[in-house]
Chain A
Amino acid sequence: MSNKAPTVLETHSLQVGFRNRAGDKVLFEPLSLALNRGELVCFMGLNGAGKTTLIKTLAGIHPPLEGVVTTTQSVAIVLTEKITGTQMTVRDLVTYGRYPYLDWWLTLSAHDQAIIERAIQQVNLSAIADNQLSQVSDGQLQMALIAKALAQDAAILLLDEPTAHLDLNNRVEIMNLLRNLAHRAGKTILVATHELDLALQTADKIWLATPNKKIITGVPEDLVLDGSFDSVFQLKGFDLKTGKITHQAYRPLSIALEGSSHEFLWTKNALERCGYKISSESSLHLAVGINKEQLHFTISAHEATHTVSTLKELLEYLAKVDQ
């Protein structure tokens, strides 16, 4: 789908970096990148790779060393920079999105007000719209900043680490919101993040900043399979191909596990986490199932069977057997 969508922002041999007396500090090799309409792109890379500077350059608020950013559309940004004005309310912050359209006395038309209210609703902040920024959580502040960008009515949204310092629930909420905005409202969205798991599950495309100052672009799964992520992040104990932390079996006991669906997966998780090896050749059989809406785990070895109903009991029993 993304192949057919029109390109809304392009860079041609763009050099990003800082210019000072000692000379240019170039952050990337000359970049030729493109963002297409209705696409959610996650921009990943190690800390200090220059993600923030590239985003600012794309937004036109940081001058490029060389090259150009061409876009026919307006760009709105969400940054990590601190906002002063603790007496500012959520609605005040969202109102800033209308500033490009307002006169010097900031007169809001009914149309402006409708857009502001809609943006607040889109991020589910209506209940706290009149709260001061000092009273809202970090997640709510991020949502308010996204609402500000939405009120700006821009076709392109560039976000710098919008999920940093948030808990899992808030991170998922924000990524889902961004995905919906891209797919349903046709916004083009670039998110700088280092949340690997979330990016893999939500992004249409990944921009991956490599240590040798290049940016690899591609569909997330392709980059997983060709090992690009591994080489950039030097993953330590996280198996990207299964999406899980790798476990070393440190107990002598191996278990042949039978079962299906969630119960099977979580039992496997518990056993591997505790250092048991899962092997279909083991003589120790464990069957997981549900009988009359009640979980049961049946362990059978050499004709003897034992049944428990929670994983805690199961693990305690196995620990005894292991000794």
Chain B
Amino acid sequence: MTRGRYGLNLLALTLMLGLLFLLNVSVGSAALSFAEVVQGLFSHTGTASEIVWQFRLPKAITCIVAGSALATGGLLMQTLFRNPMAGPDVLGLTSGASLFVALLLMAGRYPSVTSIIVPGAWSVALAASLGGIMVFIVVIIIARYVRDNTSLLLVGLMLSAATSSIVSVLQFTSQADDLQTFMIWMLGSVGSTNWAELGVLCSIVCCGLLISISMVKVLNGMLLGESYATNLGINMKRGRLAVVLVTGLMVGAVTAFCGPIAFVGLAVPHLIRLVVPASNHKILLPAVMLGGGLLLLVCDMLAQMPGSRVLPLNAITSLIGAPVVIWMVIKAKRISV
């Protein structure tokens, strides 16, 4: 009986995602009517088609892919650490990814993010992933010694601070052009991905999402803790390694192309648990994937609201994410993984 309700919720989320996708494609800085957008979608000539195919579609798809990846990464981390405050940006994964992107960019081999061609796209994505994975491993090692939520959070903050400071040093020694590119990238953007980059992003994220889905049993087992899970025949060592690799890859790829997007990974799993009260990842994972896409589509639309000037994406996600975190801290006793 309850299973039917979860099914309905998932269906509602999917429909909302579809609707928001269409809405997202039909709004933008260029004033196009809905009819023009539809026309642009199906023709291959004209300004409308150019705008829709070169700007709006890649951007909307990036929103969905990046949102799903970050939200899923957040859920995996919260489950792994059995800690409601875990998330890719909170524990420094995005900072680690940023550091590696900065190293690549400012080492001067790549003049700017926007001019990256396909092989470059892969190398930036993989470098960022490597940065994310490395920070994740450090956090896991430290998490063995600290057990409570606040300490782990503090460790994450410190790691973020440490990696950010290296980035600052890099910025200080880099040229003005690179610096500006990097600063813009730091603000977060889903609008600068071209189809080639989107291909790279999609392949990495889809792999990650599929592997996550295949790990439902392991993830559920993590909620019981290592002893119970091992007794139930679940290989926890392999499960932990898989979570580290999958999360690092997905978050790294997203960070490489969209910049360090804050709060999505932390907030979406909690927001979804309000709608779909379940702890079973078989139900939670698909819902969180849909929810992540939804939230980024909404944030992207809000970023374009004021009219001609497009606000930085991170400003909007933080505007939504910060109250969520404050609310979580206030209700800390009731919020859990």
Contact between A88 and B228, CB atoms less than 8 A apart: no
Contact between B225 and A61, CB atoms less than 8 A apart: no
In the complex, which residue of chain A has the Cβ closest to the Cβ of B231? A77
Task: Give B214-234 as 1s and 0s: 1 = Cβ < 8 Å from A's Cβ atoms.
Answer: 101100110111111011111
Could you say which interface size class chain A belongs to?
Answer: 20 to 34
**Which B residues are in CB contact (< 8 Å) with A132?**
277
* The one of B82, B214, B223, B230 that contacts A88, using a Cβ cutoff of 8 Å: B223
**Which B residues are in CB contact (< 8 Å) with A293?**
none
Contact between B278 and A87, CB atoms less than 8 A apart: yes
Contact between A85 and B232, CB atoms less than 8 A apart: no
Please name 20 pairs of A and B residues whose Cβ atoms are closer than 8 Å in the assembled complex, sorted by A.
A56-B227, A60-B230, A61-B227, A77-B227, A77-B231, A79-B227, A79-B228, A81-B225, A81-B228, A83-B225, A84-B336, A84-B337, A86-B279, A96-B220, A97-B232, A99-B220, A99-B221, A104-B216, A106-B216, A132-B277
Contact between B223 and A85, CB atoms less than 8 A apart: yes
Task: Give B294-337 as 1s and 0s: 1 = Cβ < 8 Å from A's Cβ atoms.
Answer: 00000000000000000000000000000000000000001011
In the complex, which residue of chain A has the Cβ closest to the Cβ of B78? A84
| B240 beta carbon closer than 8 Å to chain A | no
| A184 beta carbon closer than 8 Å to chain B | no
Considering the complex of A and B, which 10 residue pairs feature the smallest CB-CB distances, nearest first?
A85-B279, A85-B223, A88-B279, A84-B82, A99-B232, A100-B233, A86-B336, A84-B337, A87-B279, A61-B230
Interface of B is mostly: helix
Contact between B223 and A84, CB atoms less than 8 A apart: yes
Contact between B227 and A99, CB atoms less than 8 A apart: no
List A residues at the B interface (Cβ < 8 Å). 56, 59-61, 75-77, 79, 81-88, 92, 96-97, 99-100, 102, 104-106, 130, 132, 134, 152
Contact between B231 and A75, CB atoms less than 8 A apart: yes
**Which A residues are in CB contact (< 8 Å) with B217?**
99, 102, 104, 106
Contact between B231 and A59, CB atoms less than 8 A apart: yes
Q: How far is the CA of A134 from the CA of B220 in the complex (A)?
A: 17
Contact between B279 and A130, CB atoms less than 8 A apart: no
Given A96-B220, A106-B216, A82-B225 contact (CB < 8 Å): yes
Q: How far is the CA of A88 from the CA of B278 in the complex (A)?
A: 6
Smallest CB–CB gap between B331 and chain A, Å?
12
In the complex, which residue of chain B has the Cβ closest to the Cβ of A75? B231
In the complex, which residue of chain B has the Cβ closest to the Cβ of A99? B232
Interface centre among B224, B233, B280 (most CB of A within 10 A): B224
Smallest CB–CB gap between B253 and chain A, Å?
25
Contact between B282 and A130, CB atoms less than 8 A apart: no
**Which A residues are in CB contact (< 8 Å) with B216?**
104-106
Q: How far is the CA of A211 from the CA of B278 in the complex (A)?
A: 46
